[in-house]
Amino acid sequence: MKKIFAAALLALSLPLFAGEKYLFSSKKAVKDKESVKFNTEISAIDLVKDMKCGWNLGNTLDANAKQGLESETSWGQPLTTKEMIDAIAASGIKTIRIPCSWANHLIDDKYTIDSEWMKRVKQIVDWAIQDGMYVILNDHHDNLMPRGKGYYPSTLNYNESMLFVKNIWAQISLAFNKGYDEHLIFEVLNEPRRREHEHEWWYNQGCTLCRDAASSLNKLNQIALNTIRASGKNNAKRFVMVTGLAASINSYQADNSWKMPKDTEDGRILISVHLYTPYTFAMQNPGETTFEEKHAGELKYNFDWLNERFVSKGIPVVIGEYGATNKNNPEERAKWFEYFIRESSKYGMVSVLWDNGDWNASNTFEEKFGFFNRKTNEWYFPEILKTILDNCSNN
């Protein structure tokens, strides 16, 4: 019986890419059959400058409450349509980030992704690519361990996390490769962190578990990057975004615990960070509603630090999520957006607006990050869009 089991496991583990072994069923994996030329001459800095301003298709493919295709609308957002993506592109947005969860779409215990789900993800990515947009595709809400399938940055859960990350990115790399040029960017992990820990969102240098999480994340980032590169063809040159714990700027600043993964290609890594800053104005409920000089100062410090640490050294920064929640303060909110985009653009950073579809602040200010009406394909706050586009110096 043991020999039969071992033989079956070996069959599932046969090399799919040169020198690599995986557990998922390659027969059920979606494979990229197209072929386009990848511009290997464009630098990471120039790429990010050309990405200009971006928008997130939030609370959609990242919803993880249900399995199957119906999960796309399970968090209250309508089914994504080509008309919706066309409208985003026509509005002047050049980059779309497509947050995507995978753990709830596994069909076996070998990390095999439901092929229908992968095809649906490809369909939406293709719509954006056809519109000439840059697309950021990631692994979003799968930071689920130790409760179940997914990953969790800790030594205790590392083996399971490594298998999940490796097999998921191997399948994404199969489905998205030679048919996609530099306009498709992979983002390894979204806000990886010790969930439900007291330092979940803020790295504490004196916390042993925080240091352990950072060490584990460094290895998971490396595993994902190695897997992408091992798939070859266009993925050998693909630009890849990597992140620190919780995608917080604090995780990059703390005691050098975050390490840049080693790459077989020079200048192909982008730094991912999220900035809902200052928290009291941008996210806290009720928090503060007036954009003041102290808030501008905090933002400036963050942009200056990111420039000094990364951009000035030729490593571009993508602010994968940012935004200020609706507190019925349109004028002050516009001031925040103007300052945020103007100052971040000075350093060639691309900022990607977080949009969860929830805009109505009639009862609460909590996470009202809806900006684009996905039913009418119009912007709830056209003045904010205009502010973003007018102050994005990369335009």
Set 182, 187, 191, 343: catalytic member? 191
Q: Could you please report the per-residue DSSP string of 140-205?
A: -S---TTSSSS--SSSTTHHHHHHHHHHHHHHHHHHSSTT--TTEEEE--SS---TTSTTSSS--T
Phi, psi at 350, each rounded to 5°: -100, 135
Q: Which residues pair with 98 in a beta bridge?
A: 137
Pairing assessment for the beta strands 134-138 and 184-187 based on DSSP bridges: parallel
pTM score, whole prediction: 0.94
**Distance (Å, rounded) from C-alpha 374 to C-alpha 338?**
24
Gyration radius from the chain CA atoms: 20
pLDDT at 253: 84
Are 56 and 395 spatial neighbours (Cβ–Cβ below 8 Å)? no
Entry field: residues in the chain: 395
**Distance (Å, rounded) from C-alpha 306 to C-alpha 312?**
9
Residue 308 annotated in active site: no
| Strand segments (E) across the chain | 53-56, 95-98, 134-138, 184-187, 240-243, 269-275, 317-322, 350-353, 372-373, 378-379
Which of 184, 265, 280 lies closest to 225, judged by CA? 265
Which of 282, 289, 365 lies closest to 323, judged by CA? 282
Set 265, 321, 331, 338: catalytic member? 321
Residue 191 annotated in active site: yes
Mean pLDDT of residues grouped by 10 in the chain (395 residues)? 40 55 95 96 96 97 95 97 98 98 96 98 98 98 78 93 97 98 98 81 80 94 98 97 93 85 96 97 97 97 97 97 98 98 96 97 94 98 97 70
The label of the residue with tokens 């779409």 reads 105
Burial of 4 (0-12, 13-18, 19+ CB in 10 A): exposed
pLDDT at 7: 39
pLDDT at 14: 40
Which of 271, 281, 266 lies closest to 236, judged by CA? 266
Structure tokens at 80: 């994504």
